[in-house]
Amino acid sequence: MWTLPEPMLAAAAPDARLPAGWAAEVKWDGWRALLSWDGGRLVLRSRQGTPLASAFPEVRAGAVQLPDGTALDGELIVWDEAGRLAFERLQGRIQRRGGGAALLAAEWPAHYVAFDVLRLEGVDTLRWPYVERRAALEGLFAGRGLTAPWALCPSTTEQATVDEWLTSWTAVGVEGVVFKRLQGPYAPGVRAWKKHKVRHTEDAIVGAYTGPAAAPRTLLLGRYDAGGRLRFVGRTTTLPQSAGRALAGLLTPATVHPWAGWSFSAGWGSRETLHVTLVDPELVVEVGVDVARDSGGRWRHPARWHRARPDVTPGEVPVAD
């Protein structure tokens, strides 16, 4: 019996230049998922192998549109009311089953954005070059007239189109692009694709830190909203030791703080609570961030340290969304 392979993976690309002999696809802010439809049975699993079919009844119902003996690789995504990708809504659906999953499917319907075909009508396509798999995938969508929850991931061999995606599409939460060699097969578990994430720098206010006072390990960052409340917007990656030591003299432990009594998670999906030291929200720092946000405007991925900005006052930092 045919079983789903491990997903093919991507290594970081140094820039957004499309190499000769490669194609580019949109990189979505969603949940990687592989699926197979065989004998009326849907298998839908995450990159780590977690079964997902029960959590997404709309995908299970839509599987009848697919020909028997078909397997796809793609991304589960959810859009919010403003037309942005809403990862936190997707995250909230993973653990729901039964009636709870059905209610969320009606409220926050997911789409499955297919970017590769691994099997088509019983024919294994893993060894086919990307250009042939892509043609087969496009033929599947056109020939079967696939509709929601199915969506076809855009693909291009034009640099101008890549540039357009990275300037215009990031406004709705697209993370970047993935490059795939035109003549490359689908190699399970191998990092033979390349990915480029859009990143830029932004200013934020240090509200707390983790680690020792002499050399903070990470920073918890905030921005004031229109009502004058300091909102948590994200956390940095681990600081270079030199940066941590230099910051120690710029941070003042707080006696009164708007975040007093708050708890902070160690990360998405983690139940671990961070031990933090609150500081007077006076120091502004510049960090590198990508486009992934939750509905509250928080940066979903850790921000990369860039530099301290003692020359900038907290009042000059942009207001939180």
Q: Decide: helix, strand or coil at residue 61.
A: helix
- Cβ-Cβ contacts under 8 Å for 149 (sequence gap 6 or more): 56, 58, 59, 62, 109, 110, 111, 112
The answer to whether the CB of 287 falls within 8 A of the CB of 221 is: yes
Contacts of 311 (CB under 8 A, 6+ apart): none
Best CA proximity match to 272, nearest among 240, 235, 297, 246: 235
Q: Is 197 a catalytic residue?
A: no
Closest CA to 299 of 71, 87, 70: 87
Partners of residue 110 on adjacent β-strands: 78
Tokens of 306: 């860039």
Tokens of 110: 């997911």
CB atoms within 10 A of CB 213: 11
From the centroid of its chain, how far is CA 312? Answer: 30
User: By three-state DSSP, how is residue 248 classified?
Assistant: helix
Helix then strand then coil, % of the chain, to nearest 5: 20, 35, 45
Helix (H, G, I), strand (E, B) or coil at 53: helix
Positions annotated as catalytic residues are: 27
